[in-house]
Amino acid sequence: MLIYNIMARLLDYPDGDLAENLPGILDAIQHDDTITPTEKEGLLQLIAWMNLHDLTSLQSQYVQTFDMVPEHDLHLTHHLFGDDRGRGPALIDLSEHYKASGLEVAGNEIPDFLPLILEYVSTLDELQARVFLGDAAKVLKVIGDNLEKAGSPYARILRIVENRGHLAQAA
C-alpha cells in the first residue's frame, strides 16, 4: 500500500533523494483515495514543514529528534526492552519473519526500525498491514505522545500509523 511507503520515506533519515521526491510524494498523497482526509492533512502538514527547511537543517532536526532523545527512538523494541537481553531474541524473530516473507534487510539495518516496518507492511494487504501494526500500537502511542510533547511535526505520522493499527484491533 502506497501510504506505508510514503510514511516509511518521510520517517527515514532525510537525504537528497527525499528532497527531490517531495513533489512526487505530495502528488501521490493528494491522488490516493485510500488515504483518509485526516491522514492526508497530517502528511501534507509534515511535507509543508519539510519544505520550509533545507536538507542540512532537516538532517540536523532529524538527528536531534530521533537519535538524541531515547523517548523518540524509532526502534520499537527499544521502548519495550531498552538494552535488556530480551531485545536480541525479539530482533531475531522479526528478522526471521521478514526473511520468511521475502523481505531482505540490509546488513546494517535493525529490523525494528519503524521505516523498515512500514516498508514491510506496504507489501501486505490492508487488513494484514493493520493487524501487524496493531501489535505495535502501544509502542507507537508512546512514541507519538513523546513527539507531541516535544512539538515535533513527526508526531503526525506516528498518529497515522498508530490509528491504522488501532482500527485492526477494533475490528
* Span 118-139, pLDDT tens digits: 999 999 999 999 999 998 999 9
The band of 42, judged by pLDDT with boundaries at 50, 70 and 90, is: very high
Rounded-to-integer distance, Cα 21 and Cα 8, Å = 13
- 30, pLDDT greater than 80: yes
Domains of the chain by residue range: 2-165
The three cell numbers locating residue 150? 516535544
Q: Which residue has the higher pLDDT, 79 or 28?
A: 28
Q: How far is CA 147 from the centre of its chain?
A: 13
111 in Cβ contact with 91 (< 8 Å): yes
What is the per-residue pLDDT across 59-113, written as a single tens digit (0 to 9) for each?
Answer: 999 999 999 999 999 999 888 776 777 788 888 888 888 889 888 887 788 899 9
pTM of the model: 0.91
Would you identify the CATH topology of the domain 2-165? TorD-like (1.10.3480)
- The three-state secondary structure class of 47 is helix
pLDDT mean over 140-164: 96
The three cell numbers locating residue 157? 505520522
168 in Cβ contact with 121 (< 8 Å): no
- 168, pLDDT greater than 60: no
